[in-house]
Amino acid sequence: MDGRASPRPEERLQRRVVPYWMLGDTLSAVVLTGLAWFVGRPQLAAHWDTWSPALEQVLLGICLGVLLLGMVTPPLAFARWRYGFLGDLLLLRYGILFVEERAVPVRRMQHVDLVRGPIERLFGLATLVVFTAGNEGSAFRVPGLAIARAQELRDRIVEARGDGRL
């Protein structure tokens, strides 16, 4: 190592990705905890001889914890997410507890998609999905982009590849 710090991506996702993630995570948590509470709890109580009110309180705590995570993790993920280009490399940095940094050469990118689900459209967001050659991590996503920015990134990748393919 020569002591130099690796380049860090500087661009941020759109701030409105936080409520988008909160909505998605909270809806998922509500479904999961609803199943646990209204389906799992009666089944456990009926088939587990040692089921007690204390265990019911533990299950309630777990359900509330899952709901809380749905509200807490989106702002933390947003604070960490960065992306950007350095020459022909797309740099990504994301994660909460485990931070992942990726540098993906444009020459390894096979094709690029823009994805906009119904809730993303509601928030005016798009996700850039890039498929690469190779086995590990052969696809990655850059969520929470403004539509115009996602299109710019897609066009830049296609232009950098030099073959005009999407």
Q: How far is CA 30 from CA 17, 24, 97, in A?
A: 20, 10, 23
Report which residue type is found at 31: V
Q: How far is CA 91 from CA 68, 111, 135, in A?
A: 31, 17, 19
Q: Residues 90, 157: contact at Cβ < 8 Å?
A: yes
Contacts of 71 (CB under 8 A, 6+ apart): 22, 25, 26
Token pair belonging to 163: 């073959």
User: Is residue 4 over pLDDT 80?
Assistant: no
**pTM score, whole prediction:** 0.80
Angle value at C-alpha 159, between 155 and 164, nearest 5 degrees: 95
CA 145 – CA 11 distance, rounded (Å): 10
Taking phi first (over 0 means left), then psi (-120 to 50 degrees means alpha), and beta for anything else, what does residue 95 get? left
User: Largest alpha-carbon pair distance within the chain?
Assistant: 67
The architecture of the domain spanning 82-161 is Roll (2.30)
pLDDT, tens digit, 9 for 90 and up, residues 104-161:
888 888 889 999 999 999 999 999 999 887 766 578 899 999 999 999 999 988 888 7
Q: What is the mean pLDDT of residues 1-21?
A: 81
* Domain span(s) for CATH 2.30.29.30 in the chain: 82-161
Token pair belonging to 153: 């990134």
